[in-house]
Amino acid sequence: MRRSEPLRALVRETALDPGDLIYPLFICPGKGIRNPVSSMPGVFNLSVDEAVREAEEAARLGLGGLLLFGLPATKDEQGTGAWDDNGIVQQALRALKQTAAAKKLVLVADVCLCEYTSHGHCGVVVKSGDNFDVDNDLTLELLARTAVSHAKAGADVVAPSDMMDGRVAAIRRALDTEGYAQTPILSYASKFASAFYGPFREAADSAPQFGDRKTYQMDGANLREALREIDLDIEEGADMILMKPAMPYLDVVRAARERVDVPIGAYQVSGEYSMLQAAFEKGWLDRDRAMMESLLGLRRAGADFIVTYFAKDAAKLLA
């Protein structure tokens, strides 16, 4: 049954389609801006007009959607740029909604404060001497305001990635109250405190200025805890869930797929992308084969869709 490609294709158990792929974009102020991210070959910080061009290409390639992150002009301790109705992601959403591409793509807005806070943490920081804590409950209101602002600007889906307890319920209440009951929530339900986020923090300018995120992101040793977090988010109203990172946590993707029946996504994060790119540049791996194998593995593990910086390149091969 493996003797020819037509035979292999006939009995192939797992399929990968461009519509399964979501392409992340990093939006920055200005016009005509296309700044390369040094640790992520092929990835750029884009002004709104350049993001529109990317969206048009993504639509032509048949991608499923875009995931938007913002790089604000200024930051403060509260991350007010996150819910500013004229914030950078809100500007991008309004511009994208005016294009024909928006009719073919799902526009997903990441809901978090880390890109907008001067300290780089995902919530309101309370300090006591040399110690600090992220105040979970104070952060919920700000996340809810951010989600409503994104929905108002045109987001098809809001995606909280902060890992505060109770954020899905707070966002659902706020969306329903403000007239956005039809806006789905894609929850980063199990987001681990991972070393694989390093290049992203350059791209989004979101590295913590002190401490780390281990007090609110998940311990990579814990599968059962991840499943409890997934259950809680679904109970609170999450319509979809996202696993992050992907490759080091394939067991979590599989366990979640066997446990719940909501759509599941896997985020092939920056470190996964960058280490493969480094191997490609060295000639150590076949670029096309390794890229597609990495994505197919996520689908086989149980992901219905994949957030990946390889989205455009993979779609071209699939075509």
Rounded Cα distance between 303 and 252, Å, is 11
- Identify the active-site residue in 75, 104, 244, 312: 244
280, 309 in Cβ contact below 8 A? no
Whether a cis peptide bond, with omega within 30° of 0, leads into 245 is yes
Rounded Cα distance between 188 and 246, Å, is 12
Would residue 75 show up in a list of annotated catalytic residues for this protein? no
> Nearest-CA neighbor of 248 among 287, 290, 220?
220
Q: At what angle do helices 223-236 and 167-177 cross, to 10 degrees?
A: 20
- Identify the active-site residue in 191, 214, 282, 312: 191
N-to-C CA span, the chain? 24
Would residue 191 show up in a list of annotated catalytic residues for this protein? yes
Number of helices (H) and strands (E) in the chain: give both, helices first. Answer: 11, 12
The set of catalytic residues is 191, 244
